[in-house]
Structure 1
Amino acid sequence: MSDVMLRLDGLSKTYNSGKTNAVTVLQDAKLDIKAGEMVALVAPSGAGKSTLLHIAGLLDTPDTGTVEIGGVNMTGLSDRRRTIARRQDVGFVYQFHHLLPEFTAEENIVLPQLANGIAKSDAEARARDLLARVGIADRASHRPSAMSGGEQQRVAFCRALANAPRLLLADEPTGNLDPGTSDQVFAALMDLVRGTGLAALIATHNLELAARMDRVVKLDGGQVVAA
């Protein structure tokens, strides 16, 4: 059995911005990420990194090419099956935490598990364990408004891993934080990834953080190449 968790093969994506204007952001893009591997994706704004992440995470579809997660071709699945795969196999982290403000940290992590059919007691136990792993167990009963930006983003990490996905995708996960907090939060993210053994593709402008990952790639002319 292959240890490749994410395989992107021959991805192409073109957006039409008018009757005659077409912008190609991906062109025969290919990338393999193994289980337990953290890969940094560095690219300037507009180069297509968000498009690549959305296609890898089954939020968008390519014009051509395939997306495999755990050896399963996800490209031709029905919308329902893609939704199930996205819920079970993929975790997302964005630059802004997008936590539900009316719920506590623990509840924000419990809710996606309940949607996935996990018993409430088990979901609560996992939420507390994840919060402890990132060093904010004492914030479990706090709502987002009572937490710092770094604490909120750590909760977002925990929520992304709540359903034990096999793949983590992150789009500038520390881009909204000051340098000191960014370093602390990224260290917490690395500990989570290393502790669970999932594959991770993390887009970042921070070259120092990128250098701490296993591998760095970039988008060049719509293709994924070594940085």
Structure 2
Amino acid sequence: MNDPVLRLNGITKAYNKGAVNEVTVLRGIDLDVATGEVVALVAPSGAGKSTLLHIAGLLDTPDAGTVAIGGDDMTGQTDRRRTRVRRADVGFIYQFHHLLPEFTATENIVLPQLADGVARNAAETRANELLAQVGIAGRADHRPAALSGGEQQRVAFCRALANQPRLLLADEPTGNLDPTTSDQVFGALMDLVRSTGLSAVIATHNLELAARMDRQIRLDNGRLVPI
């Protein structure tokens, strides 16, 4: 049996440790995400879902527990090693697109590839293929200010997948959009995820969107429970 793409075991995390106002946000989290599986993480604001995603994506470290990406235990690894794995194997999407305003849609997707050592021609080809997949090939030369909110977020999706990660982590990826645009953009994201066969954990408040994923879990008082 293959290792899960993501394995969290016994993850705990508290803030203001040792202080009278210490807050424990994660209490012994266990989670396996299989190859090609898309998991919905449902939780209200402040429940710790962003903390959980940051730990899963090696942007933060737990107080206890282990994080493995593709069977590779990242516990105690150097910052350089964690950065290398994160850059190669993990894609991030946030509620706000965080595109670089001075660059075009294509350039925003090319840049992370160049940082990973991809040749410019190959990076541009990859960027334009991804833009076509999410239906905005005609907007490739536009800067973010000339794109709608939905178009900006589609570019952000493409940027997250530019280096062909094995794991996608998304924090309320359509939470800043109106309901109609959110539904359309989420559909584009799911098409992109399914076509690439990658694994994903997608945090959302929207139970209708959550129902379109393979599995739904809820973060409740620092613990994961199935829905």
**SS in structure 2 opposite 1:202?**
strand
Give the Å deviation of 1:20: 1.6
Q: Which residue of 1 aligns with 2:97?
A: 97
Q: Which residue of 1 aligns with 2:80?
A: 80
Counterpart residue type for residue 75 of structure 1 = T
Q: Please list every run of at least 4 consecutive aligned residues from structure 1 whose deviation after the TM superposition is greater than 4 angstroms.
A: none
Q: Which residue of 1 aligns with 2:118?
A: 118
Q: Which residue of 1 aligns with 2:223?
A: 223
Distance 2:17 2:70 in 1: 34
CA deviation vs aligned residue, 1:86-141 (integer Å, no higher than 9, x gap): 11100000000000000000000000000000010100000000000000000110
Give the Å deviation of 1:17: 7.2
Distance 1:3 1:55 in 2: 19
Distance 1:218 1:110 in 2: 35
Q: Which residue of 1 aligns with 2:6?
A: 6
Distance 1:24 1:14 in 2: 4
Identical counterparts, % of pairs: 75
Distance 1:197 1:35 in 2: 7
Q: TM-score, normalised by structure 2?
A: 0.98
**SS in structure 1 opposite 2:5?**
strand
Give the Å deviation of 1:18: 7.9
- The more displaced of 215-224 and 135-144 is 215-224
- The more displaced of 215-224 and 98-107 is 215-224
Is 1:181 the counterpart of 2:181 in the alignment?
Answer: yes
Q: Which residue of 1 aligns with 2:139?
A: 139
Query: What are the equivalent positions in structure 2 for 1:28-43 lying under 5 Å apart?
Result: 28-43=28-43
Distance 1:32 1:193 in 2: 18
Q: Which residue of 2 aligns with 1:214?
A: 214
Q: Which residue of 2 aligns with 1:163?
A: 163
CA deviation vs aligned residue, 1:147-192 (integer Å, no higher than 9, x gap): 0000000000000000000000000000000000000100000001
Distance 1:18 1:215 in 2: 36
Counterpart residue type for residue 109 of structure 1 = I
Aligned length: 227
Q: TM-score, normalised by structure 1?
A: 0.98
User: What is the RMSD of the two structures over their aligned residues, measured on CA atoms?
Assistant: 1.0
- Seen in structure 2, the aligned counterparts of structure 1 residues 151 and 48 have a Cα distance that, compared at 3 Å, is same
Distance 1:212 1:225 in 2: 18
**SS in structure 1 opposite 2:141?**
coil
- For structure 1, the residue ranges without an aligned partner over 5 or more in a row are none
- The more displaced of 206-215 and 13-22 is 13-22
